[in-house]
Chain A
Amino acid sequence: MFFPKRLFIIAIIQVLLTCFVIFLFVSQEYRELSEQSLETLEEFLIEQKKQELVNYTTLAVSTIIPIYKNKKIPLAQAKQQVAHTIDNMLYSGEDGYFFAYDHKGNGISHPKEPFRVGKNWWELKDINGERIIQNLIANAQKGGDFYRYTWFKPSANKPLDKLGYSVYLKDWNWMLGTGVYLDDVNNKLNKLQQSIDSHIYKTQKLILFIAILSILILFIFGLLVNLSQKKKTDKKINELSQRVIDMQEEERRRISRELHDGIVQTLVSIKYSLEATGLFLTQTKQDKPQPLIDAESSLGGAIKEIRRISHHLHPRILDELGLSSALENLAVEFYERTNIEVIVTKPAVRKLLSDEINTTLYRVVQESLTNIEKHSRATQVKICITTGKDGLTLTIKDNGIGFNTKVEAKKKTCGIGLRNLAERVLYHRGNFDCTSSNKGTKIIVKIPKSHFNSQKSQTADSNKAIKRDKA
């Protein structure tokens, strides 16, 4: 079974989808959480600021109270003294100051913006269109409250978000106010927001990395599964095809035998019957009729033809006399057909191998000779069978022009027959090697000793025969 491509794609889509959804959820959750914490922080910081403002204001009021409540000091002088005190009450560097307006919006004291003193600012609006002074006075008259607006920040030299607090000096109808700029709060919040964003970005990268990694792992896994499956199926296919060849060879052997031992023998018997008829006629002093003569000769032709077919299907000599004799015979046939000399070197012993191996090796030689005849332009072929410690070695060597083994393997042209045979040899756990140069081609096939026929059985068979003879 292959790891199907479609399944693989589905898996990748699944991974991508999961990663995407996780990413969405995580970043959403993160954002919500961060927004919550930012809000909390903002509230906390502003609460702190408010506390500060109340404290400062309480302090300022208690500073001016002695003059404000002192009935002995003339009112105008007292007011002047208080305005002066307010001007001098600074805190938190440049940006912490107090200011005072009367209930009609006339400027009384403003240490940082002295031009406001003596003028009416009742209608003063900030960038959002809020009437700042009116609101501050209203808050003060309510008994003191906070108010957010935009005002010019001295240290930053530009209008910024400010939280103001104002109280009312009832006796004089004055509004006393102060404020803190909120930009540092905003800065803090911004920084936090940035760090949260970078966190989200990091998570994003992490998820992306995990996604890629998963896909990669999936890919490699799929590849490995595919490879091993391919190996397995290849092996199975090869085994199957080899078994098909086994069956084919067996079938050919059977048909060949059937032709040779059945039909041909029947024809031979018919031939002798016809001859007997002829002999009978001769004895009774009659001439052989022409149809009888014709029948005899065409019967002879039929016998030859069927024998040729039988031999072509499977050489009987292989079964009867073994491989080396069959090769010798093949060499003679080949020489008669092509005039290419074949020298067979063989051991003195025979019938060492099983029928299947014999047939395979015979086919190897047959195919090699066909290739030699077609392509090699060789004038001589040497076929050599030797045995050693490891087993049997069959060598087929020609003196032809050779071929490029790699190129031929790629082109899959003339090599295909040999490749099939190589597979066949491998199937029999043998070893196939083909080398070629411009001086000729050499094919070496090795069959391990474990494939040799056990001589015991042969011996036992022969002995049985003899024992029977004796009995």
Chain B
Amino acid sequence: MTTQKSNYNEDVITVLLVDDHPMVQSGLSACLSYYPDVKVIGNVNDGQFALEKALELQPDVILMDISMPTLNGIDATEIITEQLESSKVLIFSMHNSLEFVTSAIQAGASGYILKDTSSEEVYYAIKAVASGKKYYSSSITQMLIENPVKQHTGKLTTREQLVLSHIAKGLSSKEIAKELAISFRTVEAHRRNIKSKLKIDTLAELIRYAVNYGLVEN
């Protein structure tokens, strides 16, 4: 809602920088300060604090690094997008391999730009993502064209894997929602995703799968 408003009213786009390197943060902030319609409203240096700050500041765009000390950007993205639908996450990383990109997309990121892109492109990316579009660096776009991401096949996200381990422990969706501090609906959505990704229908099979892969101890 905010994004649309800011777009139409030419409001300032608020940005939260999540990067564990202060010099990168300040350098990028300095660049972005030359663009009047973008404002950096916060700096966080780890995925763990990102959600906290995001909930507090409700930024339009979160510029998210991937490699960070405790909680990495992809896992943080998943948790944030789960809880904050208004904020878009734009991955801003050094990693240019397909696996990172697909993982980020599966985690709910709206865009993926590389750290060696120019500040101008960063600016455009922020604007694009804020307006509800997807944005990828050109090399990444190329990769995605060659290997399209299939949302409902392949790997579980970290969050889904966590939900699966809770399911296998015998927790109900309600209990999981309470445990992970997310809505019942989200848990149910995860449950559906897990089942479709693993091509499993029954709870018993889910539990067996989790045990088989060591997600829970016997």
| B213 A456 Cβ-Cβ under 8 A | no
Q: Report whether B180 and A466 are in contact in the complex, using a CB–CB cutoff of 8 Å.
A: yes
Expressed in whole angstroms, the Cα–Cα distance for A350 and B107 within the complex equals 14
B204 at the interface (CB under 8 A from A): no
Q: How far is the CA of A350 from the CA of B79 in the complex (A)?
A: 17
A269 & B27 in contact (Cβ 8 Å cutoff) = yes
Residues of B within 8 A of A389 (CB): 212
Given A268-B115, A272-B119: A321 and B74 within 8 A (CB)? Answer: yes
- Choose among B49, B66, B215 the residue with the greatest number of A CB atoms under 10 Å from its CB: B215
Q: Does A280 touch B at the CB level, under 8 Å?
A: yes
B108 within 8 A of A: no
Say yes or no: A455-B99 contact (C-beta < 8 A), given A272-B28, A349-B164: no
B99/A265 in contact, CB under 8 A: no
Interface of B, helix, strand, loop or mixed by DSSP: helix
Let me know if A469 is at the binding interface, CB within 8 A: yes
Query: Within the complex, which residue of A320, A348, A455, A462 is in contact with B67, where a contact is CB–CB below 8 Å?
Result: A320
Among the listed stretches A45-53, A129-137, A247-255, A300-308, which one makes contact with chain B, having 4 or more residues with CB under 8 Å of it?
Answer: A300-308
> 19 A-B pairs, CB-CB below 8 angstroms?
A261-B20, A266-B21, A273-B30, A275-B31, A276-B30, A320-B67, A320-B72, A321-B74, A348-B154, A349-B164, A350-B161, A387-B213, A388-B212, A455-B217, A459-B162, A459-B165, A463-B180, A465-B51, A470-B181
Closest chain-B Cβ to A27's Cβ sits at a distance in Å of 76
A275, A347, A449, most chain B CB atoms within 10 A: A275
CB within 8 Å of B: which of A420-463?
Answer: 449, 452-456, 458-459, 461-463
Residue A104 interfacial (CB < 8 Å): no
A321 and B67 CA atoms in complex are apart in Å by 10
Residues in B neighbouring A265, C-beta threshold 8 A: 21, 23-24, 94
Q: How far is the CA of A407 from the CA of B155 in the complex (A)?
A: 41
Q: Which residues of B are at the interface with A, using a C-beta cutoff of 8 A?
A: 20-21, 23-28, 30-31, 33-34, 47-49, 51-52, 55, 66-67, 70-72, 74-75, 79, 94-95, 97-100, 103, 115-116, 118-120, 154-156, 158, 161-162, 164-166, 179-181, 197-198, 212-217
Task: Give complex CA distance A21, B120 in Å.
Answer: 100
- Given contacts A275-B118, A280-B34, A387-B213, are A350 and B156 in contact (CB under 8 A)? yes
* Smallest Cβ-Cβ distance to A389: which chain B residue: B212
A326, A347, A452, A469: the one within 8 Å of B181 (CB): A469
**Contacts known (A268-B116, A349-B161); A332 close to B23, Cβ less than 8 A:** no
State the majority secondary structure of interface residues on A: helix
Choice from A300, A307, A449, A462 contacting B75 with Cβ under 8 Å: A462
Cβ of A70 within 8 Å of any chain B Cβ, yes or no, is no
Q: Which 10 A-B pairs have the closest CB atoms?
A: A272-B27, A269-B23, A452-B214, A265-B21, A325-B99, A269-B27, A276-B30, A279-B34, A469-B51, A329-B97
Q: CA–CA, A459 to B98, complex, Å?
A: 26
Chain B min CB distance to A430 (Å) = 15
Which residues of A line the B interface, CB within 8 A?
260-261, 264-266, 268-273, 275-276, 279-280, 283, 300, 303-304, 307, 316-317, 320-321, 324-326, 328-329, 332, 346-352, 387-389, 449, 452-456, 458-459, 461-463, 465-470
Contact B98 A348 (CB under 8 A): no
B162 contacts A469, C-beta separation under 8 Å: no
Q: Using Cβ atoms and an 8 Å threshold, which residues of chain B touch A280?
A: 34
Name the B residues within 8 Å of A317 (CB-CB).
95, 97, 99-100
Q: Are B103 and A325 in contact (CB under 8 A)?
A: yes
A271 CA to B117 CA in the complex, in Å?
10
Q: A387-B212, A466-B181 are in contact. Are A300 and B116 (CB under 8 A)?
A: yes
Q: Are B34 and A283 in contact (CB under 8 A)?
A: yes
Known: A272-B31, A348-B198. A324 touches B155 (CB 8 A): yes
Q: Are A455 and B21 in contact (CB under 8 A)?
A: no
Complex Cα distance A351/B160, Å? 13
- Cβ of A197 to closest chain B Cβ, rounded Å: 81
Contacts of A279 in B (CB 8 A): 31, 34, 119
Assess whether B180 is in contact with A271, with CB atoms less than 8 Å apart: no
Known A387-B212, A449-B214, A468-B52: A271·B27 in contact at CB below 8 Å: yes
- Asked whether, in the complex, the Cβ of A276 is within 8 Å of the Cβ of B95, the reply is no
